Structure 1
Amino acid sequence: MSIKTIRVYHDKGLLPEPDRDASGYRWYGANDAIDLIKIRMLAEAGVPLARIRALKSATDDEFQQALREIDDELTARIRGLRATQGRLRQLAAGHLAPLPTEVGAHLEDLARWGFTSRWVDLQRDLWILVFATHPDRAITLFHDQAETLADPALRQLFLDYDHAHDLDADDPTHRRPRTPDRRGDPGTLRTRRTVIPRARSARRPAPGRISATVAHRFRRVTGRPALGSRRSARG
Structure 2
Amino acid sequence: MVYGLTIGQAAAFAGVTVKTVRHYHRLGLVDEPERDSSGYRRYGSSDLLRIVQVRTLAGGGVPLAEIGDLLAADPERFSSALDDVERRLTERIEELIARRAVLHRLAAGDRLLLPERACAALDRLAELGFGARYVAIQQEALILARALVPEVFDSFLMQIERQLGDPEYVELLRRCQEAESWDPDDRRLDELAAALSAKLLANRELLSMPAEFRARPDAATRYGLINHHREHQAPAGARLNELLEANLRAAGVDIPHQ
TM normalised by structure 2 equals 0.50
Q: State the partner residue of 2:229.
A: 198
| Alignment correspondent of 1:119 | 134
Aligned pair 1:165/2:190, yes or no? no
Tell me the residue number matched to 2:96. 77
**In the alignment, residue 150 of structure 1 is paired with which amino acid?**
M
Find 2:68's aligned residue among 56, 67, 70. Answer: 56
Mapped contact 1:161–1:211 kept (Cα < 8 A): no
Quick check: 173-182 or 11-20, which moved more? Answer: 173-182
Unpaired runs of 5+ residues, structure 1, are 89-95, 131-137, 226-230
The structural deviation recorded for 1:6 is 0.3
Q: 1:122 to 1:184 in 2, by over 3 A?
A: closer
Determine what percentage of the aligned residue pairs are the same residue.
22
What pairs up with 1:205-224 in 2 under 5 angstroms?
205-211=235-241
Greater C-alpha radius of gyration:
2
What is the TM-score with the length of structure 1 in the denominator? 0.53
- Aligned residue in 2 for 1:91: none
What letter is aligned with 1:149? L
- The residue number in structure 1 matching 2:124 is 109
- 2:165 is the counterpart of 1:149: no
Equivalent residues of 2:54, 2:67 under 8 A apart: no
For 2:27 and 2:209, locate their aligned partners in 1 and report how far apart those are by CA, in whole Å. 62
Computed over aligned residues only, the root mean square deviation of the Cα atoms, in angstroms, reads 5.2
Equivalent residue for 1:66, pick from 69, 75, 85: 85
How many Å separate the matches in 1 of 2:161 and 2:55? 61
Whether contact under 8 Å (2:33, 2:41) holds in the other structure is no
More helix by share: 2
- 1:78–1:56: structure 2 CA closer, same or farther, 3 Å change rule? farther
Structure 1 residues 68 and 16, CA, compared in 2 at 3 Å: closer, same or farther? farther
SS at match of 1:11: helix
Counterpart position of 2:7: none
